[in-house]
A and B are shown apart, each in its own frame.
Chain A
Amino acid sequence: MPLIRNGDVIADSWVRHEDDAPLPADGDLILPLERLLHEGTQLAGRRGLTGVQLANTADVEEIESLLSCLALVTLEFPAFTDGRAYSQARQLRTKLGYSGELRATGNVLPDQAAFMRRVGFDSFEIACGQDIETWKNAPRAISLAYQRGYEGGAVTRYETNSACGASPAI
């Protein structure tokens, strides 16, 4: 599936490792939460980065102690109307201070891209066949925001007196 980061479709270096098979020694792996918790310290010996796939029912504090070894967290939108992952992302970025890649997966659509960007997502796994131009234009639709303390992608009322601001790429 196409992966969008910084406004471009990029190659995905990550591989999902969803079964019980032993972990390969190389490569960047995305593990389900249970597997990550189970492997724990053994991950340190691998060559390659570690990511985790969190269900939108998970409590993000479960990975608090592991965040320093994680380079990717994926959060899921089973339907774009199911907005739990927005709060999970927000908690990861602010409450837990996570600074690695935060990827939106599932029913990820351009009309919600600006919201996702602002709660802290910085990569987007989208379904095949979506119009990339629509994605590139999406953040320009609303470049202004009222909420303070949410991440980039918009000019907020309180950070500037100017109503004009360039909107960065999704």
Chain B
Amino acid sequence: MARKINGPRIATANRLRDGLVVFLDGKGEWTRNLCGARVVENDAAIATLEQDAVAAAKANIVVDPYLIEVETCNGHGFVPVKHRERMRMKGPTAGNSLIFHG
């Protein structure tokens, strides 16, 4: 898991059974919605978040969890800082997945 990041962060992973992108929320559940994600800033909280994420992978709920850096978006909620993570959060911007909802 990446450690050397700055600023507020959240835990993300893909869910084992269906592979979909999920975020760890305040109740310890993995949610599809980034808005519900548990955002932490201080070292102790980050360490706990990381432990919880790793534990969920060990419990075979999610796959390959890691922490990502987020920033506030116009004062409302958070979005990932990195381009790849924004893409991961948004889902495909092109292609038939946008037309067909299975």
| Contact between A and B in the complex (any CB pair below 8 Å) | no
Binding site for B on A (CB under 8 A): none
